[in-house]
Structure 1
Amino acid sequence: MAEIRVPTLGESVTEATIATWFKKVGDTVAIDEMVCELETDKVTVEVPATSAGVLSEIVAKEGETVGVDALLANIDENAEGKSATSSSDAAGPQEVKEEPEASDDGGDADGNPVDIPVPSLGESVSEATVGSWMKNVGDEVSQDEILCELETDKVSVEVPAPASGVLSSISAEAGTTVEAGGVLGVIASGAKGGKPTASAPASDEKPASPEPSSGKKDVENAPSANRILAEKGISADEVTGSGRDGRVMKEDALAAKKSSESSASSSAPIPRGPVAAEDANREERVKMTRLRQTIARRLKEAQNTAAMLTTYNEVDMTATMEIRKEYKDLFEKKHGVKLGFMSFFTKACCHALKEVPDVNAEIDGTDVVYKNFVHMGVAVGTPTGLVVPVIRDADQMSFAAIEKKIAELGTRARDGKLSMADMQGGTFTISNGGVYGSLMSSPILNPPQSGILGMHKIQQRPMVVNGEIVIRPMMYLALSYDHRIVDGKGAVTFLVRVKEALEDPRRLLMDL
């Protein structure tokens, strides 16, 4: 058994999307024959077969996001399969149309209705939201034609038609949450589906249109290209594809979109002179990633739902910095991890949450749910957006255990290997904007949590201590909280307890 894996994608590129499979399970493949195409933000990569044989399994479906060296498919080197797709490419147009005839009447080979299943959504992802349907009930569809798009917090998954026919019903409308293995709709028999080529007459006459010579009729364009063209109302027939067999790729669609916008700008009257057109030519419109859309939605939900308020204080970091400096080498030698500031802040917050449990609670309808544990969320910036992995039972952990867990989660976040379980169940969050140089900010709640602490840059400032002006390393702290459950007194008390614990870490040992 030979494996087909994701090749190196180029510098700084760690993942790609499966655009199209040129082969199906059971097809015969030759060594170095192109079997699928990957898309990244920078390039399009064709993946060759690593061995000759039969494609026995496709692990990563079209639309899925995969990392470098991820398994794409398996080739059985000893099996015999149906004739390779490449052989049909060399045949005439009529031979190409013979393969789907078994399902031209709709449904499966026997004409029975076929369910449209929810595909595998990836590791640890059990449900998704139906984003949009590209087809309506009653529309004709072709096998493998994209019917709808599912959204998860990690990826966007396009759902192809399992057979040709008519979309007779939609079980899950846009906005519905569905589980892996569920049914989205049904394709029924009774009409020929999909593209006009399926309606070719049974006569011996030659096709009247030049479509076969263009090669586009039998080539499925990249899903991302279809979306871009659909948004601008551009026909794929008007675009020259640079992919295999004239396939329209993402960059082709973007170029066509830019050309269309430029043409519209030049032909439309410009009431305020050429400035608007010049600016439009220098703009770039990029679709938000699914992660960024999720972040935007959740942050806006927090503003719309919670009565959010922020209180501020400042902390003298002298004592914490001195302890860290004194013990950091011994700490790292014994525990194998560096002693940072996050463990101090985590312990200080756990200490304060015991005294002010409202900040660690959440609202559920008309109930207040108090948590007798602390699952601490730690906001981490990644190239694709902000994620909040959770340190479970942080109140029961030592400084060393906290530092090890933060280092582990931070690495997995930057590598894009966090699971949904790693980011669920948090009861309170710490966000450190200081690593980017932020001096003061108001963090936004991470629903359904009722509190989030914002850390900031440590800066030397003149302070009055015992009647004298001295230079001290100071940090502003910000606590954003849900005023529906946390009163002002409780919020201020919480922040003061965090300040006291950091200015005199011995209080943590004495539980004061």
Structure 2
Amino acid sequence: MSQIVQVKVPDIGDLDEVDVIEMMVNVGDTISVDQSLITVESDKASMEIPSSHAGKVVALNVKVGDKVRKGSVILDVEVSDTASVTTEKPVQAPESKQETSPVAPTAVSTPAPAVAQTGGIVDVVVPDIGDFDAVEVIEVMVAVGDTIKEEQSLITVESDKASMEIPSSHAGKVVALSVKVGDKISKGTLILQVETNAVSTAAPAPVKTEVTPKVEPTVVNDTVVSATPSLDTSTRRASPTAAYALSAAEFRNLPYASPSVRRFARELGVDLTQIKGSGRKNRITADDVRAFVKAALSVAPNNNVNTGNTNVGGGLSVLDWPKIDFSKFGPIETKPLSRIKKISGANLHRNWVMIPHVTNNDEADITELEAFRVKLNKEYEKAGVKFTMLAFLIKAVVQCLKKFPEFNASLDGDNLVLKQFYHIGFAADTPNGLVVPVVHDADKKTVSEIATETAELAKLARDGKLSPAQMQGGCFTISSLGGIGGTHFTPIINAPEVAILGVSRSYQKPVWNGHTFEPRLTIPLSLSYDHRVIDGAAAARFNVYLAQLLSDFRRALI
């Protein structure tokens, strides 16, 4: 026997109405206890709401954009009489001692025992941080010699569930630091020693915990989207090409912003002290950071403004964006941008403005390769393997990257990081926009393995089920319009990569063979490259070599 059970939003702390920003299950899915169902977002944090029951989803009662609160019905699940049922796991609050949500900590405060001090050197240790153990220090916000206050944030730590700031239990002067970025800490770990003269009987301030947002895919041109995983340690550093790099001193005086917003600012190289927050109590939001970047990229370094125009430099003046009531001219419909497109503007603009793009256009004769591909598809039809031109392109690009290693690199200040791995990203069309799954270690895989993997990744992308690991680590991107049309285009480089290959639709072209013209299947290639790293001659050689491999794929075996 089975029964229908309603799964509701549990107690989510001091949050009232929150927006549903992501649905993580569908009708018909079989879910388990504690499996994440939806992602909600407030002005403080994003969090995933887990399931209290296991079973089959028979009805969804919320959708993206809805507002929910404690007790809102998320979905109906069909459970068997023997199915396991969880109840909300009580979490001790600072004062009320009431039960709170089993959701990953959002704004839960966890106090440590009170400590009485009468001055001198005091040890500041990690208080009780709930069920987190051996969390990683991702940011140290004070330095030896700093004068700190009670409840001032000292370090930021991160687990697989959340980022949180650890506040100070005492005020005074920092005389010794005992942790550094990358260390693992737990309850009771010594953070620092502080010299204090004031009498203090206060308990350590509660730890403010904020859930790290999920992966936000980012459009880098009209056909390519990249994604930065929220837990990828590489995203904790400011972009090496960013115009607004943060110093260690600036980090120690950051204004009111959540850890996730601070990390987002570091990704873009934004100085948060220059931003006025629009959130409650002047809290800086992700939208504030995006707006700042857009404004900063539209003005000159000296920020000169004359008569309403913005001087970009070199005598070029950019007018303010026109504000027009289009309804005066006829019927209109207002439709919100998808989340993918909404968050992409700053990254698009940054990459286009800050990277000196040049595009080399060439063509490759794929007559024999296409015939070989069609033959393989017939031979492997029963095996379920479908060979696409993309699989051959990925394999050929790997050979090009080995021959021209500067294309498999990234800029890090004045240094060029040459990668010894070959992870190739490719554009995948989805209902909400284009995302870029990554084929890892493409150099170690056969064409048939690449064909199978790209098909699986593309399906996951369309279903919105790509994991962070499947969208990170790429060192070169292929943006293919082959199934749509076009001749050539200029793809925008996906920083921190230094090149991107655009592929357009193949077509028949008459070619002189020395005796007569014969039709040859030709594919257009558009290679955009960062001119700070790659010169025109190298780009031309890359495209020529790629065309040679595609025209006679036996060369890829050499």
Could you tell me the TM-score, scaled by structure 2's length? 0.49
Alignment correspondent of 2:519? 471
Q: Secondary structure at the match of 2:333?
A: coil
1:329 to 378, 382, 407: 378
- Identity percentage over the alignment? 29
CA RMSD after TM alignment? 4.9
1:136-179 deviation line (CA, Å, top 9, x unaligned): xxxxxxxxxxxx99855449xxxxxxxxxxxxx94638942389
Tell me the CA shift for residue 110 of structure 1.
8.1
2:367 aligned with 1:318: yes
> Which whole-Å CA distance do the structure 1 matches of 2:75 and 2:445 have between them?
33
Code of the aligned partner of 2:519: I
Alignment correspondent of 1:217? none
2:96 to 92, 96, 109: 109
2:346 aligned with 1:297: yes
> Which whole-Å CA distance do the structure 1 matches of 2:457 and 2:424 have between them?
12
> Which whole-Å CA distance do the structure 1 matches of 2:260 and 2:40 have between them?
24
Tell me the CA shift for residue 298 of structure 1.
2.4
> Which whole-Å CA distance do the structure 2 matches of 1:68 and 1:449 have between them?
45
Q: For 1:435-446, what aligned pairs fall within 5 Å after superposition?
A: 435-446=483-494
> Which whole-Å CA distance do the structure 2 matches of 1:456 and 1:499 have between them?
14
Alignment correspondent of 1:374? 422
Q: Secondary structure at the match of 2:483?
A: helix
2:414 aligned with 1:414: no
> Which whole-Å CA distance do the structure 2 matches of 1:178 and 1:372 have between them?
28
Alignment correspondent of 1:38? 62
> Which whole-Å CA distance do the structure 1 matches of 2:161 and 2:41 have between them?
21
1:428-469 deviation line (CA, Å, top 9, x unaligned): 111111212222211111111111111110112223332522
> Which whole-Å CA distance do the structure 2 matches of 1:8 and 1:68 have between them?
9
Tell me the CA shift for residue 472 of structure 1.
1.7
> Which whole-Å CA distance do the structure 2 matches of 1:115 and 1:507 have between them?
55
Alignment correspondent of 2:546? 498
2:258 aligned with 1:172: yes
> Which whole-Å CA distance do the structure 1 matches of 2:426 and 2:356 have between them?
22
**Quick check: 349-358 or 282-291, which moved more?**
282-291
Q: Secondary structure at the match of 2:258?
A: coil
Tell me the CA shift for residue 291 of structure 1.
1.8
1:448–1:116 distance in 2 versus 1, CA, 3 Å: same
Answer whether contact 2:425 2:475 (CA < 8 A) is retained. Answer: yes
Higher helix fraction (1 or 2): 1
1:340–1:488 distance in 2 versus 1, CA, 3 Å: same
What stretches of structure 1 of length at least 5 have no aligned partner? Answer: 10-14, 26-34, 48-54, 81-102, 129-147, 156-168, 180-193, 195-226, 228-273
1:458 to 489, 496, 506: 506
Q: For 1:85-124, what aligned pairs fall within 5 Å after superposition?
A: 108-109=95-96, 116-117=107-108
Q: Secondary structure at the match of 2:107?
A: strand
> Which whole-Å CA distance do the structure 2 matches of 1:67 and 1:456 have between them?
44
2:445 aligned with 1:397: yes
> Which whole-Å CA distance do the structure 2 matches of 1:314 and 1:78 have between them?
60
> Which whole-Å CA distance do the structure 1 matches of 2:75 and 2:536 have between them?
47
Answer whether contact 1:346 1:376 (CA < 8 A) is retained. Answer: yes
Code of the aligned partner of 1:391: V
Code of the aligned partner of 1:466: G
Larger radius of gyration: 1
Q: Secondary structure at the match of 1:411?
A: helix
1:467–1:16 distance in 2 versus 1, CA, 3 Å: farther
Alignment correspondent of 2:328? 278
Code of the aligned partner of 1:328: N
Tell me the CA shift for residue 476 of structure 1.
0.8
Tell me the CA shift for residue 77 of structure 1.
8.2
2:406 to 358, 379, 396: 358
Q: Secondary structure at the match of 2:62?
A: strand
Q: For 1:139-154, what aligned pairs fall within 5 Å after superposition?
A: 152-154=214-216
Code of the aligned partner of 1:345: L
Code of the aligned partner of 1:342: L
Matched positions, count: 321
1:490–1:8 distance in 2 versus 1, CA, 3 Å: same
Code of the aligned partner of 1:407: A
Answer whether contact 1:382 1:413 (CA < 8 A) is retained. Answer: yes
Could you tell me the TM-score, scaled by structure 1's length? 0.53
Alignment correspondent of 1:287? 336
1:216-252 deviation line (CA, Å, top 9, x unaligned): xxxxxxxxxxx9xxxxxxxxxxxxxxxxxxxxxxxxx
Answer whether contact 1:376 1:426 (CA < 8 A) is retained. Answer: yes
> Which whole-Å CA distance do the structure 1 matches of 2:374 and 2:390 have between them?
14
1:466-512 deviation line (CA, Å, top 9, x unaligned): 25222221111010111111121111111111100111111112x1x
> Which whole-Å CA distance do the structure 2 matches of 1:371 and 1:78 have between them?
47
1:356–1:151 distance in 2 versus 1, CA, 3 Å: same
Q: For 1:217-256, what aligned pairs fall within 5 Å after superposition?
A: none
Code of the aligned partner of 1:278: K
Code of the aligned partner of 2:336: K
> Which whole-Å CA distance do the structure 1 matches of 2:212 and 2:449 have between them?
38
